[in-house]
Chain A
Amino acid sequence: MPQIFHSSTNTLARASIVLAAIAPLGLMMALSAMSRTYFVRLNVPVQQPVPFSHEHHSNELGIACQYCHVSVEKAGNAGLPPTHTCMSCHSQIWTNSPLLEPVRESYRSQTPLKWNKVWDLPDFVYFNHSIHVNKGIPCQHCHGNINQMQITYKSVHHSMAWCLDCHRAPEKYIRPREEVYSFDYNLHAAIERYADEHAKATGKKLEQIPRNQVEFGQLLVQDANINKKQLSDCWICHR
């Protein structure tokens, strides 16, 4: 009887063992890449009724975030601008732009514009803007460089691991309160200003000038009275 398998199949068999070990890994990577684009929709611009540009209004015109997101310092929800807010300018400027027709129509008929959500936590997660903003967590950390987006897209995925990364060590990302709206934060200038103000307020120099974000962050965490111990307990976010 002739041999059914050629001797080269031995190599094939060995290779298949290795492949079998690698395959699940590859599958996992493919799945996670798919879930990023299909389910999480990272970096995919979201269709809106009006092509509103943060790049234009925030970066170029320098309109403050709170002009439109009024409640971001005061409430859990940051708030989206009603049509009235757009019209406070667009009743006078670019009044003939066809792109703005939905805004004018909405104002005439008193029906709100329907913005599509970009970031949306699952309903079983509790979130609150005011505490983060008031304790020095910048918009930029959670929403990326939104001031440079022509059409808003999700630049950061808010997974549980991502929230916890900060809740376990907020000193890695915290800034002085007045820097939360900044998109060109300069750590060393901020440290200098902090040291100056400390000297002015207490009449004493800082014992040690912080050298990096973490050392500076530890001071700020202390000043903001942040209770790190409970911050990664489940009930903080799942209540």
Chain B
Amino acid sequence: MKRMKTAYTAGLALLGLVLASGCHRDMYDQPKYEPYDQSTFFTDQKADRQPVTGTVARGQLALDDAFYRGAVNGKPVPNIPPAALARFANTRDMLRRGQAQYNTFCQPCHGESGYGNGMIAQRGLSQRRQVPTYHSPRLRDIEDGHFYDVITNGFGVMYPYSSRIAPEDRWAVVAYIRALQLSQNARPSDMPAEARQRLLRGENPNVAPGAAATTGTTSTNE
């Protein structure tokens, strides 16, 4: 009789254990915040906190006006500042990076070659506001710093992209836009003599793959 009772208790305990093994959510959802979580503690309900206004994180001190704002004393810098070039191993890497960023963030509206005919422009944006081409005389002659400013602060109805594109990448995009402008407005005299010879002979003038004038219409998702 006694033995049956122990067996009975043991059986119950086992059943309890088996059932309890289903109740393990506490380790699955631990009382900690993950990115984008909702907070019940902070009044704005965001678990992701903003730094206190006025704090500057290490490496984020943006004193170099030419590099961080594309303008010195309120005037756009004419050329890409050396500090931006120094962030890349060589100009070819910079153009590649610029191409990748351009194709991600600008191409939907401005189009692959910069004529302002991207998919979003075609789907209705240009009926409200014409997306401009980069190949107008005004934009061909404008300072490099102007493009940087447009990316950083937006322009007219175009929203700013500063939260998504880092300063050095913005300069890479500027370099790539310059390459696009060159590619659509190149004269034979812009070519190296050797390539011009090849063109005159009716051959493919492209020498080095990745040279500025030839990267215009390739699309890679780097």
Contact = CB atoms under 8 A, between A and B. Distances in A.
Contacts of B217: none
Given A62-B108, A123-B30, A178-B222, A88 B159 contact: yes
Interface stretch (A22-30, A89-97, A207-215): A89-97
A102 interface: no
A136 to B, nearest CB: 13
Of the candidates A80, A88, A111, A123, the one having the most CB atoms from chain B within 10 angstroms of its own CB is: A88
Contact of A93 (B36, B38, B123): B123
A61 B124 CA distance: 12
B108 A93 contact: no
Contact of B105 (A67, A92, A115, A123): A67
B104 A66 contact: yes
B128 interface: yes
A93 B124 contact: yes
Contacts of B108: 61-63, 67, 89
Nearest to A125: B28
Nearest to A77: B35
B164 A70 contact: yes
B7 interface: no
Nearest to B35: A77
Interface in B1-47: 27-30, 32, 34-36, 38, 45-46
A93 B120 contact: yes
A2 interface: no
Given A61-B108, A87-B159, A181-B221, A123 B27 contact: yes
A61 B159 contact: no
Interface string A175-198: 001100110000000000000000
B221 A64 contact: yes
B221 A91 contact: no
Contacts of A70: 164
A64 B125 CA distance: 18
Interface string B116-154: 000110011100110000000000000000000000000
A64 B123 contact: no
B57 interface: no
A38 to B, nearest CB: 12
Contact of B159 (A79, A91, A115, A122): A91
Chain A interface, DSSP helix/strand/loop, else mixed: loop
A82 B46 CA distance: 13
Interface residues of A, number: 31
Contacts of B55: none
Given A67-B104, A114-B38, A123-B34, A61 B29 contact: no
A78 B119 CA distance: 25
Interface in B84-119: 103-105, 108, 119
Contact of A124 (B28, B36, B105): B28
B163 interface: yes
A199 to B, nearest CB: 13
A143 interface: no
A112 interface: yes
B220 interface: yes
B29 A123 contact: yes
Given A93-B124, A123-B29, A123-B34, 16 more contacts: A61-B123, A62-B119, A67-B105, A77-B36, A84-B163, A87-B159, A91-B157, A92-B124, A92-B128, A93-B123, A94-B124, A111-B45, A115-B36, A124-B27, A124-B28, A178-B222
Interface of B: 27-30, 32, 34-36, 38, 45-46, 103-105, 108, 119-120, 123-125, 128-129, 157-159, 163-164, 220-222
